[in-house]
Amino acid sequence: MLVAHSGHPPISHSRILIIDDHLPNIDLIEQILVRAGYRNLRSTCDAREAVPLFVEFDPDLAIVDLMMPHIDGYALITQFGSLTPSGAFVPILVLTADSSRAARRKALDLGANDFLTKPFDADEVRLRVRNLLHTRALHVQMQGQNRALDERVRERTREVEESRLEILLRLAVAAEYRDDATGSHTRRVGRTSALLAQAMGLADSEVRLIGLTAPLHDIGKIGIPDHILLKPGSLTPPEFETVKSHVLIGGKILSASKSPLLQMAENIARYHHECWDGSGYCGRLAAEGIPLAARIVAVADAFDALTHERPYKRAWDVDAAMSEIRSQENRRYDPRVVNALERVVFRHRIAGVEVVDGPIPPYVDPFAIAVAC
């Protein structure tokens, strides 16, 4: 029995396509192959049927005569090559009565892999067919191993990315605990940012990325002294300058990553205090020059800060918070994002769900991560 490598079907199960305009040649080749144990054979005497048959049959080996009416073997070799997916290997065994060097070179240049010269020798037919099928089996096996290796690499990359993100998120929560007794501000901003992104019609993948990275917006607060961060009264100009540096600290913590997720997190941390009219800090970016994710988080962060108690203020109700945010539309905030917040608040009220402290969907919960980067 003709056997392939472990884990693959026997070579005798291989699909073999035969194209020759002389029926006796096809009959002879089929007899030789059947006696050798091959059963999965298809053939045609009309070269015009070859391409549709190649697509339908999806052969493991094509045996092609060179000299045929209507379409010659050279043209078929070219067309079969164009139909074979990138990285795949479907060997072509050429039948020819022309054993000249020029004919062989031309066929090889077009993609042929071996030759059988008419009249056929039965042993030569068996050996060349077997060798080409073994080569294909090895190629298929190697492709399978490469796919398995690629998947292991992707899985390991995901694990590393998840670990890195989780560490950063826990740092963000640690920083947040310094001026938020519950430490849940980061999660709420992630949730609200994802809801805003969704309301703005962003792709699901973008919604998810924003939901996962928005909680890192204030990670730079880890570098702000407590006597400034927790000060209950107004800040002096030098103290405010110190507070503003948290965007630079956060950007630096998250910088220089090749991960799209952490690149977005860096943009959010660095630019979420930029203003639509260019009056924000620290890059003085304006309007569309501010990354969209940062514009979204700016509104989500402001909404959450207004509707929750802080050391320097009491919590506002949703209507008062919305009135304040609307008053800053086109100045501090992107009007599109403000409109999205209004739609989110309206939908939650219609549904009878509290938008301020609603449940965090798993797909935007930074601690239910399953990152695909």
Question: For residue range 210-264, what is the model confidence (pLDDT) as tens digits?
Answer: 998 898 899 898 888 988 888 877 889 999 999 999 999 999 999 988 888 889 9
Are the beta carbons of 217 and 210 closer than 8 angstroms? no
Handedness of CA 166, 167, 168, 169 (dihedral sign): positive
The pair of three-digit structure tokens given for residue 59, joined into one six-digit string? 């052969």
The long-range contacts involving 192-196, CB below 8 angstroms and separated by at least 24 positions, are 192/300, 192/303, 192/304, 192/344, 192/355, 193/293, 193/296, 193/297, 193/300, 193/364, 194/361, 194/363, 194/364, 195/344, 195/355, 196/296, 196/299, 196/300, 196/337, 196/340, 196/341, 196/344
Single out the residue of 170, 256, 248, 150 nearest to residue 216, CA to CA.
170
- Residue 300, SS3 per DSSP: helix
Worst-scoring range by mean pLDDT, 6-15, 185-194, 290-299, 335-344? 6-15
Contact 240, 282 (CB under 8 A): no
Mean pLDDT over 156-168 rounds to 77
Mean pLDDT rounded to a whole number for the chain: 87
What is the percentage of the chain residues whose pLDDT exceeds 90?
57
| All domains of the chain in start order, with CATH | 11-149 (3.40.50.2300), 177-364 (1.10.3210.10)
pLDDT tens digits, residue range 318-332? 999 999 999 999 999
| Euclidean distance between CA atoms 337 and 199, whole angstroms | 9
Q: Which two tokens stand for residue 286?
A: 């304006």
pLDDT digits (tens, 9 = 90+) for 167-183: 777 777 777 776 665 56
* Statement: residue 88 has pLDDT above 50: yes
Q: Which residue has the higher pLDDT, 373 or 354?
A: 354
